[in-house]
């Protein structure tokens, strides 16, 4: 159902670069794409942002924490939808065992994989009638801890850089969880409980067929196919970024780019904002009509064929540069 979103370089990189092939295609064939941000502005009116309990004095923590919590929430919400969270964390775990043989017993022993399998059984993603957050607060913290490390392994797979983890933390799942920045689990538990009371829970409850999660990593595009809706998660403490056309454009380009590079046949494209507890949905047919500008609107399949042809034409040139 999902196709490779790589296209030579990362989708997030292409979406953020106005000169990339993806951005040039969108600017030419969907020139009114920034109009999507109007739906975000309307959805965010009157909302409250759930803020972390405090980031501490370390500038490094303030820089790194937003990305860490975003990846962690991505995987925790994926776990609420499907037992298969994608291939990206597995690539990171495999890399660690290859470049640091014998130094990650929690991975080589299968302890982390077993804890993840037990969590999936307890969360029951196949049963949308179950609560999003686990009723036992301590078990929910453990679930968030596993999701946090799925995000870390995702980052390792993308960057190729092992995390700086003491040997004691690499021995068991509990050791990994003890290494998480103290506010992280409290922050995550609050966001997961909020997700269980809003639009994410309602969408999850409507899923009449098994949910498919993207093989891509966190923040690489879309995260799950829930019924006829392609869904992405986004975590930010600053809602102003989402309501300023220039600031939000890379995110919108990433969403639409992922839609065009996928092979599912959805009717809606949706974004769930974890800190604002807001869901925004765009009917895809109407989206293409609004964003087409003066051109006659193309269908989803027509856009996919055109973008695929555009990228294929560039590949021979990449090899000669």
Half-sphere exposure of 4 (CA within 13 A, CB side): 6
* Contact present, 126 and 83 (Cβ < 8 Å): yes
Q: What stretches in the chain show pLDDT beneath 50?
A: 1-8, 57-58, 60-61, 317, 319, 321
Give how far Cα 251 sits from Cα of 35, 87, 274, 313, Å: 13, 22, 15, 25
The pLDDT, as a whole number, for residue 113 is 95
Nearest to 217 by CA among 65, 15, 78: 78
The pLDDT, as a whole number, for residue 60 is 44
Q: Is 264 helix (H, G, I), strand (E, B) or coil?
A: coil
The pLDDT, as a whole number, for residue 13 is 80
Rounded to two decimals, the pTM is 0.90
Domain boundaries of the chain, sorted by first residue = 1-49+238-321, 55-198+205-218
Torsion angles phi and psi, residue 64, rounded to 5: -85, -25
Maximum alpha-carbon separation in the chain: 61
The pLDDT, as a whole number, for residue 34 is 92
Torsion angles phi and psi, residue 303, rounded to 5: -65, -40
The pLDDT, as a whole number, for residue 215 is 67
Torsion angles phi and psi, residue 251, rounded to 5: -65, -45
* Contact present, 198 and 112 (Cβ < 8 Å): no
């Amino acid at each position: 159902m999902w196709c490779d979103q790589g296209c030579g370089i990362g989708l997030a990189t292409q979406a953020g670069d106005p000169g990339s092939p993806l951005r040039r295609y969108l600017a030419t064939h969907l020139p009114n794409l920034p109009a999507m941000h109007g739906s975000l502005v309307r959805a965010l009116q009157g909302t409250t942002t759930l803020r972390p309990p405090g980031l501490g004095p370390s500038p490094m923590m303030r820089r790194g924490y937003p990305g860490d919590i975003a990846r962690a929430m991505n995987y925790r919400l994926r776990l609420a939808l499907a037992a298969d969270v994608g291939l990206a964390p597995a690539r990171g775990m495999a890399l660690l065992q290859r470049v640091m043989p014998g130094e990650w017993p929690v991975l080589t022993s299968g302890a982390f994989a077993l804890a993840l399998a037990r969590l999936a059984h307890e969360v029951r993603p196949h049963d949308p009638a179950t609560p999003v957050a686990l009723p036992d607060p301590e078990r929910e913290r453990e679930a968030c801890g596993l999701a946090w490390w799925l995000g870390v392994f995702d980052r390792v797979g993308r960057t190729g850089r092992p995390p700086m983890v003491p040997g004691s933390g690499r021995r068991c799942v509990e050791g990994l969880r003890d290494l998480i920045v103290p506010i992280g689990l409290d922050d995550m538990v609050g966001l997961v409980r909020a997700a269980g009371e809003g639009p994410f829970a309602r969408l999850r409850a409507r899923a009449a067929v098994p949910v498919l999660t993207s093989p891509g990593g966190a923040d690489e595009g879309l995260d799950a196919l829930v019924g006829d809706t392609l869904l992405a998660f986004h975590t930010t403490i600053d809602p102003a970024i989402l309501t300023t056309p220039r600031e939000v454009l890379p995110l919108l380009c990433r969403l639409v780019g992922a839609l065009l590079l996928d092979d599912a046949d959805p009717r809606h494209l949706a974004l769930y904002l974890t800190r604002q507890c807001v869901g925004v949905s765009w009917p895809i047919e109407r989206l293409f009509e609004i964003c087409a500008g003066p051109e006659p609107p193309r269908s989803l399949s027509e856009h996919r064929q055109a973008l695929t042809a555009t990228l294929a034409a560039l590949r021979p040139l990449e090899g000669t540069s």
